């Protein structure tokens, strides 16, 4: 956690260049209390209007909120809205270099909002005129600005600035000057992003780009299928990394340089009020962190935390470094409390069911293993460690004393269920412990429906719980046994 806070503190030293489609977001707040007598439509009564930078402008606003030094290249019309965009960029502390072709209106998106709900959106935009004549001048300007930046972000909203000519030109300059370039893409053809350091589509955009469908993110075959398709795209486009954002399921990194090449970061659970601009916030935080030299995994964790905060705000919003740091410290306090109080990890099946329901809303992957775990030894520890690597949350279902006696005889367990529960709950690999009385863990598995079921020594043909998990697409893993370690052996040696 300390390293994440240190990254946030260093963002003021990062110089970021943003190139992308600029827009003006206008939010009109009002109320609806009657139906029009002219037609069966609601009458919207305006109470307040707010304007914010949209598109790539929202990326700029987020970077400035984080404390970064920001330059921006974009387009605006020769109109009052274009003047407003340029003024707002300067007011937030950015250095704009705007191209303002004649006859091109500034893109404006107006949203009508009543009682916290979006009623309608009204857009004004026209196709961008061809810029071939401006390309040499744009190239020279961009080169100078790239030289002064630590990292370059391309925010493509498909409005015409980042074309098959301009995007490759920008990426080529970044490569030549050894600058990282991150792309938030648009459209189905990612060929124009060839050579980028990192491309960051959402799941829907990724599926469109590879012309394929994927199973749901919780499905057993989601990870290998996404990895396969992503690596093929990476090699075809000669890009270094791909991050696919998964909404409430977090984000996934696919990188040929990593081993394994797939890494998923779970989302931070927040009450969602408005997802407008959440992708811009994620791009800004990711770029800022990478710009100050942070490892990509830590940059992803910060981007997730920032996105989780911004969706709890209404409208195209930003978050500050202090807000993110406060959120991270709160999360750390919550987690440390869990590790300091093993008793709080021990719960009934009803309590576990509710807890896991909430964890699934956060996009967490639930794992389960079960056993008596009497006289906890190295074999048990290895099982917990291996199972925890397969999931975000590990639940251990523990046989009660009565159950162990039925299965193993009157002399077992050596340690009672209270002792065994506390010992297992004290391990950092274990998140929850449940006692069960049945001879099998089937009832627990049926009620919790884990994404991963892991246990040593069992084959599928004599493991009915595993067949049930497989029936709904869950993952089943037979853990390797550590030879020479068992409770029976320990009891024999002690005798």
Per-residue pLDDT of 138-194, as tens digits, reads 899 999 999 999 999 999 999 989 999 999 999 999 999 999 999 999 999 899 999
More confident residue, 138 or 375: 138
* CATH 1.20.1330.10, domain 2-20+55-95+131-334, yes or no: no
DSSP 3-state of 460: helix
The C-alpha torsion from 63 through 117 and 308 to 280, rounded to 10°, is: -30
Q: What is the mean pLDDT of residues 370-378?
A: 81
Catalytic, out of 280, 392, 431, 451: 280
Q: What is the mean pLDDT of residues 351-374?
A: 86
Q: What is the mean pLDDT of residues 329-337?
A: 52
For 132, counting Cβ atoms within 10 Å of its Cβ (0-12 exposed, 13-18 middle, 19+ buried), the class is: exposed
To the nearest 10 degrees (0 to 180), the angle between helices 296-310 and 321-340 is 100
What is the reported pLDDT for 304?
87
Query: CB count, 10 Å around CB of 459?
Result: 8
What is the reported pLDDT for 275?
46
Q: pTM higher than 0.75, yes or no?
A: no
Q: CA-CA distance, 189 to 187, in Å (whole number)?
A: 6
Classify the phi-psi angles of 100: left when phi > 0, otherwise alpha if psi is within -120 to 50, otherwise beta: beta
Q: What is the mean pLDDT of residues 255-266?
A: 88
Classify the phi-psi angles of 409: left when phi > 0, otherwise alpha if psi is within -120 to 50, otherwise beta: left
Nearest to 247 by CA among 320, 311, 165: 311
More confident residue, 426 or 231: 231
Token representation of residue 182: 């991150």
Per the CB < 8 A criterion, the answer to whether 246 and 217 are in contact is yes
Q: How confident is the model at residue 204 (pLDDT cuts 50, 70, 90)?
A: very high
Would the pLDDT of 311 be above 90?
no
Q: CA-CA distance, 234 to 242, in Å (whole number)?
A: 7
Domain boundaries, the chain: 2-20+55-95+131-334, 341-494
What is the reported pLDDT for 483?
56
What is the reported pLDDT for 335?
47
Q: What percent of the chain has pLDDT over 90?
A: 52
Token representation of residue 281: 């916030």
More confident residue, 136 or 288: 288
Per the CB < 8 A criterion, the answer to whether 45 and 180 are in contact is no
Would the pLDDT of 295 be above 70?
yes
Q: What is the mean pLDDT of residues 239-264?
A: 90
What is the reported pLDDT for 268?
59
Q: How confident is the model at residue 259 (pLDDT cuts 50, 70, 90)?
A: confident
* 361 backbone dihedrals φ, ψ, rounded to 5°: -60, -30
Query: CB count, 10 Å around CB of 12?
Result: 13
Would the pLDDT of 78 be above 60?
yes
What is the reported pLDDT for 2?
46
Place of tokens 């969602």: 272
DSSP 3-state of 75: strand
For 269, counting Cβ atoms within 10 Å of its Cβ (0-12 exposed, 13-18 middle, 19+ buried), the class is: middle
More confident residue, 51 or 138: 51
Q: Put the strands of the sheet holding 475-479 in their side by side order.
A: 346-347, 432-436, 393-399, 366-371, 452-456, 475-479
The C-alpha torsion from 45 through 48 and 54 to 60, rounded to 10°, is: -170
Token representation of residue 424: 């297992």
More confident residue, 374 or 130: 374
Would the pLDDT of 136 be above 90?
no
Mean pLDDT of the chain: 86
In the residue annotation, 280 being an active-site residue is answered as: yes
Q: CA-CA distance, 252 to 214, in Å (whole number)?
A: 14
Would the pLDDT of 209 be above 70?
yes
- The dotted CATH code for 341-494 is 3.40.50.620
More confident residue, 404 or 316: 404
More confident residue, 495 or 331: 331
Query: Which residues on adjacent β-strands are paired with residue 367?
Result: 394, 452
Q: What is the mean pLDDT of residues 248-264?
A: 89
Per-residue pLDDT of 439-463, as tens digits, reads 899 999 999 999 999 988 777 888 9
Q: What is the mean pLDDT of residues 271-297?
A: 80
Q: CA-CA distance, 78 to 75, in Å (whole number)?
A: 10
Would the pLDDT of 71 be above 80?
yes
Q: What is the mean pLDDT of residues 353-367?
A: 85
- Mark 302-336 as b/e (b = at least 16 C-beta within 10 Å): bbbbbbbbbbebebbbbbbbebbbebbeeeeeeee
What is the reported pLDDT for 495?
55
**Ranges 43-47, 219-223, 285-289, 371-375: which has the least confidence:** 371-375
């Amino acid at each position: 956690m300390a390293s994440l806070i240190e990254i946030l503190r260093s963002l003021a030293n990062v110089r970021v260049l943003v190139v992308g489609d600029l827009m003006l977001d206008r939010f009109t707040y009002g109320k609806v209390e009657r139906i029009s007598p002219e037609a069966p439509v609601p009458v919207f009564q305006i109470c307040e209007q707010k304007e914010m930078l949209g598109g790539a402008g929202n990326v700029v606003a987020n970077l400035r909120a984080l404390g970064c030094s920001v330059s921006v290249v974009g387009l605006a019309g020769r109109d009052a809205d274009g003047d407003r965009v340029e003024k707002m960029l300067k007011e937030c502390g950015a250095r704009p270099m705007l191209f303002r072709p004649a006859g091109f209106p500034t893109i404006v998106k107006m949203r009508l909002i009543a009682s916290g709900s979006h009623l309608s959106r009204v857009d004004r935009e026209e196709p961008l005129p061809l810029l071939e004549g401006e390309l040499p001048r744009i190239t020279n300007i961009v080169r100078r600005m790239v030289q002064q930046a630590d990292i370059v972000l391309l925010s493509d909203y498909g409005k015409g600035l980042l074309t098959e000519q301009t995007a490759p030109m920008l990426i080529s300059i970044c490569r030549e000057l050894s600058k990282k370039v991150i792309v938030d893409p648009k459209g189905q053809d990612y060929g124009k992003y060839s050579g980028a350091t990192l491309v960051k589509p959402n799941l829907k955009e990724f599926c469109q780009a590879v012309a394929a469908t994927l199973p749901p993110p919780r499905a057993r075959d989601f990870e290998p299928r996404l990895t396969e398709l992503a690596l093929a795209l990476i090699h075809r486009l000669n890009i270094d990394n791909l991050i696919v954002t998964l909404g409430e399921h977090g984000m996934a990194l696919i990188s040929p340089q990593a081993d394994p090449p797939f890494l998923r970061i779970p989302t931070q659970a927040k009450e969602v009020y408005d997802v407008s601009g959440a992708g811009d916030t994620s791009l800004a935080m990711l770029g800022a962190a990478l710009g100050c030299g942070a490892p990509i995994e830590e940059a992803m964790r910060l981007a997730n935390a920032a996105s989780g905060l911004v969706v709890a705000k209404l409208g195209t919003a930003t978050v500050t470094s202090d807000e993110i740091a406060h959120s991270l410290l709160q999360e750390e306090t919550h987690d440390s409390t869990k590790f300091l109080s093993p008793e709080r990890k021990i719960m009934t099946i009803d309590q576990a069911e509710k807890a896991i329901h909430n964890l699934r809303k956060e996009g967490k992957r639930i794992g389960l293993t079960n056993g008596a775990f009497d006289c906890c030894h190295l074999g048990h520890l290895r099982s917990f460690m291996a199972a925890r690597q397969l999931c975000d949350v590990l639940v251990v279902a523990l046989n009660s004393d009565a159950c162990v006696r039925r299965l193993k005889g009157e002399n077992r367990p050596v340690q009672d269920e209270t002792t065994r529960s506390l010992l297992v709950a004290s391990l950092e690999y274990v998140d929850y412990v449940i006692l069960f009385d049945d001879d099998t863990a089937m009832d627990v598995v049926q009620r919790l429906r884990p994404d991963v079921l892991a246990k040593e020594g069992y084959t599928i043909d004599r493991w009915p719980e595993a067949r049930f998990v497989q029936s709904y697409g869950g993952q089943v893993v037979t853990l390797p046994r550590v030879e020479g370690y068992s409770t029976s052996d320990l009891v024999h040696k002690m005798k």
